[in-house]
Structure formats: structure tokens, C-alpha cells
Amino acid sequence: MASVTLSRPSTTKLTARRIVKDIVVYGLLLLLGGLFLLPFLWMVTSSLRFPGAGITFPPQFLPTEFNFANYPQVFQMIPFARFALNSIIVTTLAVLGELLSASLVAFGFARLRFPGRNILFLVLLTTMMIPYPVTMIPSFILWVRGLGMANTFGPLVLPPFFGPAFSIFLLRQFFMTINTELDEAAKVDGANEIRIFWQIILPLAKPALATIAVFSFIANWNDFLTPLIYLSDPNMYTLALGINFLRNFRGGGELSLQMAAAVMFIAPCIVIYFISQRYIVQGIVTTGLKG
Amino acid sequence: MGYLFISPWLFGFIVFLIGPILASLYLSFTTYKPGQTPVWIGLENYVRMFGDDLFYHSLRITTVYTVLSVPLGLITALGLAVLLNQGVRGLRFFRTAFYLPSLISGVAVAIVFAWFFNTNFGVINFFLSLFGIDGPNWLGDPDWTLPAFVIMSLWGIGGTVVIFIAALQGVPVELYEAAELDGATSWRRFLNITLPLISPVILFSLITGVIATFQTFAVSYIMTGGGPANASLFYLLYLYRNAFNWFEMGYASALAWFLFLIILVCTLILLRSSELWVHYEGLGRK
């Protein structure tokens, strides 16, 4: 009896503490989560306002006007469709190049034996630490003066075909986890390395390939510095440059138009995130912990 | 056969990396404008650098920005990850909320925050006004420009939050249970169990964070153009202008090599210091 009467108040106290803790935790999370999402909401709301309505104080977070005409208006003011097409071409080619070369090279490092393999892999790891600005100027001279590729997509899409170190590293780690018995069985059946790579390893590596594709897409879609250096002809602009172009354009200072353009620019990245959330989280965790 | 498979990388490594690195080193000892032949001038670019006020200025700004934004971002990200690790419902929703902003780097961020930091109509000053604070002219007052950039950088910490959540989930529950039996408070458990066990991840985020912030470019180029009064003239922006606006490619190469050196030294210092504070038995070998 005594123990029951004693334990009663302490359980209530524990429950009370638990409730207070829950309120604090969820309260903070909702507040901060809301703050992180607020700019997105504000972008969409602002993109739907009538031109000339401009920016208001206090700021409007929830839409009261629905002027969808701002979206087609962006296409009339700047060659938005052209910029979007350029971005799609650049991003698609860069992603394909990265997938192709990274998987080939990673297969070589993970599955094949050759003299100097370990040293070369160490070299590859070291190269991940070299900041882009160090190679930026000579690369510019090489592409523009050496190969005459100013105002082409070459300098943007060709480098990924030559083995981006980070993706190679990620895929190599993944290939290492695939059981070698499969390879050996295939070898007994007379399959060569190329068939093993193509028919056994690649299908098994789909999750890792998806991770790389998603990160490569987001990086290339958002890249600003490389297109800025190589593309000066507005016909060749990617969206990242095009959006900035709109800002400096006559009449482009309009808030609603800028936001309509920005919403269309970020939409593909958001969509890709929701389609491939699993791979993104997995990718951040593996590269984050192992890099 | 192995060489065949790695040949794309080997080719890229020589042509797009080693070649340009050596060329960059050579150019840093020359004066070179596109279309002309490089002229060897020895150490003159480096001498010029140490007498260049804008070089010091951009280096100082970038360093201050790094010192403020990287630790602040790490602490905030860790706080969010700890909150999310309390067994909350809707983990996926909150993780998405914190991560989404990291998907849109550069241009879009710059465009949105250019409006957010508006003195009279901006969202930031609106929130301050709710507390009776008369917000500053963020992007017009040189004293407030860097703080504005720091605030903006906090919006992009989602990737770090995700890494930290994974690290926190990797801490064995038994350790907490044992400590609880010994009567350790939750703060003590955090200090003595959580922090040491996730310290390798903190080190990793610290190093990658420093490397990335030293290369800040797009947002200052788009949002402020380096202004006002050069208050956001980040190192890479100054380097870019030298190379591609003024075509001082020799001098810009010297600046690039110096940046490389800074990043290398910072990384080495952080790695050396990690012997003092990073705990290597837990996560790494589990």
C-alpha cells in the first residue's frame, strides 16, 4: 500500500515533466521549421501579386491575390524558355557524364587489380581537397584560348566525363560492399570485366547511382560561377545566369516577376528532392561520415 | 584492364587538374593578359599582394565571415539535430523543412534575401519591429552587411543537420542508460557522452565548412556586388574581378595560390587540434 501511494505522485510528476518537455521540443521545432520554410511561402505569395503592388509592410506571407499572369510575363520579358532549355541540356549532359565516368573509374578501383592502384586512389582522395579557384584561371585559358569553346556548353559539361573525384569515391565505397562471389561466378561462366560491370555491378548499384545523379543535378542546376566565366552570350545563358539577368533588366526590378522566375527556377530541385528523398538523406550521411 | 577503366579519371586528372595547377603556379610568377604572352616577373605578384589594401581587406572580411558563420552554423545545426533526436513524431517533415533551403544555393537565395534585408519593407526588419527594434539598413550599411551574410548562411545549414541527426542516432543507447543510472543529468550526458562520440562528425563539418566559406562567391556577386564600400568584397570575388574583369590573370593566379595555402593551413591546424578534442573510438570503429 505504502509503495503505491508513494509512487503515485512521482509518476504524475514524471508525466508532467514529459509534457513540458514535449511542449518545449515541439514548440521550438514548429517555430524554427516555420522560419526555415517562411522564405518559400513568401516567394510564392509574392510571385502571385499584381505588378505595381510592390513590396508591402508588414510583409504578406499568405497569398491574398492570385495573379498567375506573372509567370507567362517572365517568359515575355526574358528568353526564359531558352534559358531553361540550356539549363536542362547542361544539367542532363553533366549528370550523364558524371554517372558514366564515375561508375567506370570506381569499378576499376574497387574490383580490378593493377600496379599502383592504391597510390592512385590516394592521389584521387587528395584531389578532393583542391579548391576550384586554383585551377579556374588556367582551365579558362585552356577552354577558351586553347579549344576555342567560349560561349559553348563544353567547359560546363565535358569535365564531368573525366571522373569527378567525390562521386568516384562514393561509388567505390559502395562497390566494395558488393559480394565478389557474384563476379567470380560470372567469370566461371566466361563473362569479361565489361559484362560484369554492366550486368552485375551497375544494376546492384542503383541506389548509389541515384544519390550521385541527384547531387550532381542540384549542383549543376544551381552552379553560377562556371557559367558566369564561360557564357557571355545571353542565348547560351543557363537559368542561374538568366535569373540574375532579369534582375538587371528594365522592369525586372518588379518583385512579383523576380519571385515568379525564382519559383520556376527552384521548382525542379524541390521536385527532385521529394522524389528521391531517401537517396539524398542516405547520400549526405554516407559522404558526411566517410568523407 | 584496370587502367582502361580508370582512364577517364587519369586523363581528367592530368589535363584538368595537374596541368592547370602547375600552369596556375607558373602564371602566378608572370604578368599575363589573355592574348598576350606571359612575362616572367618573379615574385612581384606576391610582393604586390602584400602591399594591396583590397587584398588585406577581402582576406579580413572572408576570415571574419568564416569565424562567425561556421561555428554559429554548427551550433545551430547541432541544436536542431538534438531537438529532432528526442524521438519526435514527424521527423521526416521537420528534416525536410530544415533541408529544403540547402537545395537552392546561390542565385535564388541572393534574390530572396536581397528583399528580406530591405530596410523599410524587409521581412527581417519586420520581425525586429515586433520586438520594438528599429532594424538597420542591412545591405546599405557596411557595418551590417557581414552580419546579414551570417544570418543568411544559417538558412543553408540543413545538410549539416542531417549529418548530425545520423551521428546522434549512432550513439549507443546503453551508454545513456548507464549514465542515467549513475544519476547524470541530461546536460552532463550531453557533454560527456554525446559530444565526444559525435566529435569526429563535428570535425568533418568544421573542415568542410571552412573550406566552403573561404570560397563564398555567388551571393555577394549577385546581392551586393561586393558593396557597400567593399563591405562584402569576399576573397573569391576580388580574385574573380582581377582575373575576369581586369584580366590581371597573373596576379589573380597568385591570389588563387594564396587561397589554396590558407585553406591548406586551416585544414592542417584543425586536424592537429583535433587530437585534443576529437574522440576516435566511438563512431569510427563501431
Q: Where are the domains of chain B?
A: 52-285
CATH number of the domain at A117, please. 1.10.3720.10
Judged against a pLDDT cut of 50, whether residue B283 lies above it is answered with no
Measure B18 CA to nearest chain A CA, in Å: 9
Nearest CA in chain B to A105: B6
Q: Which of A144-158, A187-201, B40-54, B59-73 has the lowest mean pLDDT?
A: A187-201
Best interface-test mutation with A: which of B10, B93, B107, B278 has the largest number of A CBs within 10 A? B107
Note whether residue A68 is domain-resident. Answer: no
Cell matching residue B216: 563564398
Given A105, A133, A285, which is nearest B9 (Cβ)? A105
Residue A5 has pLDDT above 60, yes or no: no
How would you write A225-282 as a 3-class SS string?
HHHHHHCCCHHHCCHHHHHHHHHCCCCCCCHHHHHHHHHHHHHHHHHHHHHHHHHHHH
The chain-wide mean pLDDT, for chain B, equals: 91
**Closest partner CB to B115 (pick from A101, A139, A255):** A255
Q: Do A289 and B88 touch (CB under 8 A)?
A: no
Q: pTM for the whole thing?
A: 0.91
**Maximum alpha-carbon separation in chain A:** 92
Query: Mean per-residue pLDDT for B153-168?
Result: 92
Tell me the one-letter amino acid at A32: L
> What pLDDT, on a 0 to 100 scale, did the predictor assign at position A2?
40
Q: Could you tell me the sign of the dihedral formed by the alpha carbons of B185, B186, B191, B192, in that order?
A: positive
How far is it, in rounded angstroms, from Cα A250 to Cα A252?
5
Q: In this predicted model, what pLDDT tens digit does every residue of A29-47 receive, in sequence order?
A: 999 999 999 999 999 999 9
Residue A133 contacts B, CB cutoff 8 Å: yes
What does each C-alpha distance from B8 to A45, A99, A100, B141 come to in angstroms?
A: 47, 12, 10, 49
Has residue A7 got a pLDDT over 60? Answer: no
Neighbours of B102 (CB within 10 A): 22
Q: What is the pLDDT of residues A18-29, one digit of tens each?
A: 888 889 999 999
pLDDT at res. B101: 94
pLDDT-based confidence at residue A290 (cuts at 50, 70, 90): very low
ipTM: 0.90
What integer pLDDT is reported at residue A288 of this predicted model? 57
Give the C-alpha separation, A243 to A224, whole Å: 11
pLDDT of residue A289: 43
pLDDT band at A1 (very low <50, low <70, confident <90, very high): very low
Task: Provide DSSP, B228-276.
Answer: STTTT--HHHHHHIIIIIS--HHHHHHHHHHHHHHHHHHHHHHHHHHHH
The CA distance from B118 to B189, in Å, is 43
Look at B113 and A6; give whichever has higher pLDDT. B113
Chain B CB contacts of A280 under 8 Å are: 99
**Amino acid B136: pLDDT:** 93
Model confidence pLDDT, tens digit, residues B23-52: 999 999 999 998 889 999 999 999 999 999
pLDDT digits (tens, 9 = 90+) for A226-272: 999 999 999 999 999 999 988 877 666 788 899 999 999 999 999 99
User: Mean pLDDT score of chain A, rounded to an integer?
Assistant: 87
Would an 8 Å CB–CB cutoff place A291 in contact with chain B? Answer: yes
CA distance B56 to chain A (A): 18
Count of structural domains, chain A: 1
CA A283 to chain centre: 11
Query: Is residue A38 in a domain?
Result: no
| Chains A–B, number of C-beta pairs less than 8 Å apart | 245
Nearest-10 Cα torsion for B208, B214, B220, B221: -100
Asked if A258 has any chain B CB less than 8 Å from its own CB, the reply is yes
CATH number assigned to the domain covering B52-285: 1.10.3720.10
Decide if A58 touches B, using CB distance below 8 A. Answer: yes
| Residue A284 within a domain | no
Stronger pLDDT, A1 or B42, i.e. the higher one = B42
The predicted model gives A125-134 an average pLDDT of 89
Residues 186-205 of B with CB under 8 A from A: 201, 204-205
- For residue A186, the enclosing domain spans 78-249
